[in-house]
Homo-oligomer: A and B are copies of this chain.
Amino acid sequence: MSHTYEYPRPAVSVDCVVFGLDEDQLKILLIQRGAEPFLGMWALPGGFVEPDENLNEAARRELQEETGLRGVWLEQLYTFGEVDRDPRTRVITVAWFALVKMSRYRARAASDAANVDWFPVSRLPRLAFDHRKVVRLGLQRLQAKVRYQPVGFELLPEKFTLRQLQQMYEVILDRQLDKRNFRKKILGMDILIELDEQESGVPHRAARLYRFDKSRYKSLLKAGFNFEI
């Protein structure tokens, strides 16, 4: 290890695959590049890691700077280090994936900058660097993860209906679920708090609202409970 300082060091960046749920579409947040290489092309929000910040801090800082998002759910995805992935120089990027409650942030991101926008995952523009690959992995991870960890709630508002919850799973997993079986299962888990409220503004019978009971989930976990959709 000691001979290493002679070598040129790679640059290290972070990139974020940010997922949001817009009605019945799964979307990803992209920024339009303002510099070469790939000037004008859409890319994942991200940037270089500062010497005095941890990797997750760098990811959060870049998200904030480039898109205005703060306090989102964030988890490391994968590190991409192919020698030629950046035409300028060797850049190793630590990719993260984030889940945001779009209802809370949409306005913000849209107004902040013209070069930030949400795209449906099924209709992405051409992406800079190897970001296509990063997105694909993020999507795979989301589909796998959502099934055995209650992370999907991060995409919904604090208060949601069972229909919204089911639809979230249907959109991410890309298949239909049976309404009665879904309700039976999720309610049987005993991780939802039934609120004394209903959705409003719908032109038909209003549905009951629920909240995810995180502390309840945690204590169930310790007791050996296994979340699974």
Using CB atoms and an 8 Å cutoff, list the residues of chain A in contact with chain B.
1-2, 4-5, 7-13, 35-36, 47-55, 76, 78-79, 81-83, 90, 92, 94
Contact = CB atoms under 8 A, between A and B. Distances in A.
Q: How many copies does the complex hold?
A: 2
A209 to B, nearest CB: 33
B81 A47 contact: no
Contacts of A90: 51
Contact of A51 (B10, B12, B52, B94): B10
Contacts of A50: 7
Contact of A81 (B1, B10, B55, B81): B55
Given A35-B2, A55-B92, A92-B55, A49 B10 contact: yes
B94 A4 contact: no
A79 B76 CA distance: 8
A5 B86 CA distance: 14
